Amino acid sequence: MSKHVILLGAPGVGKGTLGQQVVKRAGLAYVSTGDMLRAEVAAKTELGNKIASILAAGELVSDDLVNELIKKAISKPEAQKGFMIDGYPRTLYQAKSLEAMPQGKIDVVFNIELPAEEIVRRISSRRSCPKCKAVYNLIYSPPNKEGICDRCGAQLVTRADDNPDTIRNRIAVYEKNTKPLVEYYEKKGLLVRIDSSGNDNEPKIRDMLAIIGK
C-alpha cells in the first residue's frame, strides 16, 4: 500500500538528510518544492517561464502555482508507490488544496524538531566554497584544512544569511507561519514529532520507517 508523507521542519533541523534516507529505504518518491521550481525554470516549460518571470521580479511564487507543481509531481508514475513532500504545504490554503487533489490524501506528517539555539549553532557552523559550491559544517563535516575547501583549495566563506541573528529571525518567521499547519495536522491525528537532537540519525530513520510501515 502506498504511503503519502509530509515533512515539516525549520531550516537547519536536518529534515532533508532524514527525508532522503527514509525515501531511499522506503522506496518513496521525494517531492521537493525547491527542486521542482528549479527544474521547471531550467526546462523552460510554460510553467517554468512563468515562475522565472515571477522570481526575476523579486516576488513570491503564488500558492496556486505551487499547488499546480505539486499536483503534477504526485501524479507522476514514480509517485504511485508513495511519496514524501518536503517544503509543502506552507499555508493552510495549500494543505486544503493538497487534500482536494486526486492523490492528495496524507497518511502521516513528520514534524522534525530541534531547539532554536541548536539550530543556530548548526547553521552558523556552515561554511561554503564560493568557487565550487561545496558546503561544510565545522561540527559534523569540517574541511581537512581549516578554512580551505578540500575540493578546489579556495577560501571558505560564511554566507550572509548564516549569521545567528538572521537565523533566529528565519526560525521565528517559520514558526509563526507553520504553527497553524502543525495544529491542523495534530487535530487530524496525522502529526508525528521527531526529535532531531544528537548526531546519530539511524534511530530517527528507523522510527520514521516503522511509522510509515516500511
Tell me what the mean pLDDT of segment 185-212 comes to: 94
Q: Where do we find the cell 508525528?
A: 192
Confidence (pLDDT) at 140: 85
Tell me what the mean pLDDT of segment 181-188 comes to: 96
- Give the active site residues: 15, 90, 126, 159, 170
Tell me the whole-structure pTM to 2 decimals. 0.85
Tens of pLDDT along 104-129? 999 999 999 999 999 999 999 999 99
Is pLDDT above 90 for 57? no
Edge-first strand listing for the sheet containing 3-9: 29-32, 82-86, 3-9, 108-113, 191-195
The DSSP output letter for 162 is G
Alpha-carbon gap, residue 88 to 107, rounded angstroms: 15
Is pLDDT above 70 for 1? no
Domains and CATH numbers, the chain: 3-114+179-211 (3.40.50.300)
Tell me what the mean pLDDT of segment 156-168 comes to: 89
Smallest CA-to-CA distance from 37 within 61, 14, 15, 71 is with 61
Tens of pLDDT along 11-55? 889 898 899 999 999 999 999 888 888 888 899 988 889 888 988
Neighbours of 5 (CB within 10 A): 25
